[in-house]
Amino acid sequence: MAQETGRQGADLSRDGATQTVASVDRGRRGFLGGSGLAAIGAVIGSGMPFSDTLVPAASAQGTAPAKGPQHLKYPGKNEGLVVLGERPLVAETPESLLDDDTTPTEKFYIRNNGQIPEPAKDPEAWKIVIDGEVNNRLELSLGELKSKYRIATRRMVLECGGNGRSAFSPPARGNQWTNGGAGCAEWTGIALADVLKAAGLKSSAKYTAHYAADLHLSGDASKPSLSRGVRIEKAMDPYTMIVWGMNGEPLPNIHGGPVRLVVPGWPGSASQKWLTRINIRDKEHDGAGMTEFSYRVAIKPMVPGEKGDPKNFRILESMPVRSLITNPANGAKFSAGTKELKLRGAAWAGDLTVKAVDVSTDFGATWHKAGLSKPKNKYDWQRWTATVKLPSDGYFEIWTRATDSKGVMQPHQAGFWNPQGYGGNAMHRIAVLVG
Ligand SMILES: Nc1nc2c(c(=O)[nH]1)N[C@H]1C(S)=C(S)[C@@H](COP(=O)(O)O)O[C@H]1N2
Ligand SMILES: [Mo]
């Protein structure tokens, strides 16, 4: 696997799995929607730049970059999704499309590292292998997974390790996610732990290594497109699942169907799609996306923009706390005289829960507690609501910040810079215009 060390001209189209893209034939597969959708982009607010200064919706029209957000055109997918990369196909969900309690599949973000495989012809015959540091190597078809183990459905957040990356300065390498590399779906499947118990873990079992059917972008079958793993303790978490259902339907091909992993709370890259094999190892896995700076954060904080020493990095495990305003959308306009705004949003915190969400309408000078719902089950996100008063017409920003169950709050800015931009969980901000 090629490493990204010292690569000239950062490739901003990827979120950290270490690969070299040999040839890029942009647009050939035509995942981009028509330009007519640019208008929708402006309404839902993606035309409102938030890099350094926020600008009112009115003037955003005039200052928007010539090439606005590119909207996704993909069967079964909402055209409001924004394409971050075409090859591999990566698309995020604007915050305002994450307004449902359960993220509908059509709105769920897409992240691929390699080629998208053809849909399986006979899903029930799909096989996964469990091998390595186990007493009994298992080979199980989807049909057997469904009939031999206890089935559960759980609503859990899946979040890309690079979510929030676009807020880093200087820019970090990878897909420039805003906050939309996340969604919360109902996943149906079985506990990976039950399968590992059936296989019988040896005392030497330390780490998992996940393998899948998607080809590397280059088409080279000897290179996995992505192969990550987790500590055996996380693999044994009853919420770490092998799933075949998403929101009550068979898991769609684009989301890894027929069978994928969902390792909630940890970077989405551990949740292998098109799962074919889990190899149990006696040491940390070193597959594609495990080494160097991939899905790793600095131990000793580094100078932003510097190259970094791989020895100073640790694997990112639980994702940091994050909150979103899902309604209104950034750039929303309200009629003159509007004195009150009803806000809705979501918050989650990796392996932890969210203790509080606060909102501000005055750039953080004062904060108001939002009403926060309980998670449906562990790893579910928590929906929040708040009503805020506005003193006058004019331009306002709404900021939201969440605090996790250990008391750690979102920072004002993406901090603790690292080369591939993980852990960026700055407060979410939207701008609204009254009158
Ligand atoms: N086989 C395989 N599994 C994969 C990936 C991939 O490229 N190949 N991408 C990972 C990453 S980086 C993320 S964030 C999630 C995204 O899942 P989704 O596309 O269903 O949203 O899948 C993970 N599983
Ligand atoms: Mo990811």
Q: SS3 of 58, please? A: helix
**pTM here?**
0.89
Q: What is the CATH number of domain 322-434?
A: 2.60.40.650
Residue 97 has pLDDT above 70, yes or no: yes
How many angstroms separate the alpha carbon of residue 191 from the centre of ligand 1? 19
pLDDT of 56: 38
How is the chain split into domains, by residue range? Answer: 1-318, 322-434
The span from the first CA to the last CA of the chain, in angstroms, equals 55
The atom of ligand 1 lying closest to the CA of 289 is: 12
Average pLDDT, stretch 43-65? Answer: 40
Q: What are the angstrom distances between the C-alpha of 23 and each of 19, 26, 90, 292, 431?
A: 12, 9, 17, 23, 39
d(CA 334, CA 388): 14
Q: SS3 of 390, please? A: coil
Residue 50 has pLDDT above 80, yes or no: no
Average pLDDT, stretch 65-91? Answer: 92
Site residues for ligand 1, CB cut-off 6 Å:
15, 108-114, 158, 160, 212, 214, 225-226, 255-256, 268-269, 271-274
Q: Which ligand is nearest to the CA of 180?
A: 1
Q: Which residue type, as a one-letter code, is found at position 139? A: E
How many angstroms separate the alpha carbon of residue 300 from the centre of ligand 1? 29
Q: Which ligand is nearest to the CA of 113?
A: 1
pLDDT of 55: 43
Please say whether the beta carbons of 176 and 14 come within 8 A. no
Quickly state the pLDDT bin for 30 (edges 50, 70, 90): low
The atom of ligand 1 lying closest to the CA of 267 is: 14
Q: Which ligand is nearest to the CA of 105?
A: 1
How many angstroms separate the alpha carbon of residue 14 from the centre of ligand 2? 9
Instruction: Render pLDDT for 251-300 as a digit per residue (tens, 0 to 9).
Output: 999 999 999 999 999 999 999 999 999 999 999 999 999 999 999 999 99
How many angstroms separate the alpha carbon of residue 269 from the centre of ligand 2? 5
Q: Which ligand is nearest to the CA of 269?
A: 1
How many angstroms separate the alpha carbon of residue 391 from the centre of ligand 1? 45
**Ligand 1 pocket mutation, candidates 74, 105, 126, 271, criterion most atoms within 8 A of CB:** 271
Q: Which ligand is nearest to the CA of 175?
A: 2
pLDDT of 68: 82
Nearest CA to ligand 1 atom 1: 273
Q: Give the H or E element holding residue 195.
A: helix 192-199
What is the per-residue burial (b if ≥16 Cβ within 10 Å, else e) of 70-107?
bbbbbeebbebbbbbbbbbbbbbbbbbbbbeeebebbb
The atom of ligand 1 lying closest to the CA of 110 is: 19
d(CA 134, CA 283): 14
Nearest CA to ligand 1 atom 16: 111
The atom of ligand 1 lying closest to the CA of 111 is: 19
How many angstroms separate the alpha carbon of residue 270 from the centre of ligand 2? 8
d(CA 269, CA 159): 9
Instruction: Render pLDDT for 320-335 as a digit per residue (tens, 0 to 9).
Output: 999 999 999 999 999 9
Q: What is the mean pLDDT of the chain?
A: 89
**Ligand 1 pocket mutation, candidates 158, 269, 420, criterion most atoms within 8 A of CB:** 269
Instruction: Render pLDDT for 268-281 as a digit per residue (tens, 0 to 9).
Output: 999 999 999 999 99
User: What residue ranges in 258-377 does DSSP mark as E strands?
Assistant: 260-262, 275-281, 296-298, 313-315, 322-327, 332-334, 340-348, 354-360, 368-369, 371-372
1-318, CATH topology level: Sulfite Oxidase; Chain A, domain 2 (3.90.420)
The atom of ligand 1 lying closest to the CA of 213 is: 1
How many angstroms separate the alpha carbon of residue 55 from the centre of ligand 2? 30
Share of the chain above pLDDT 70, in %: 85
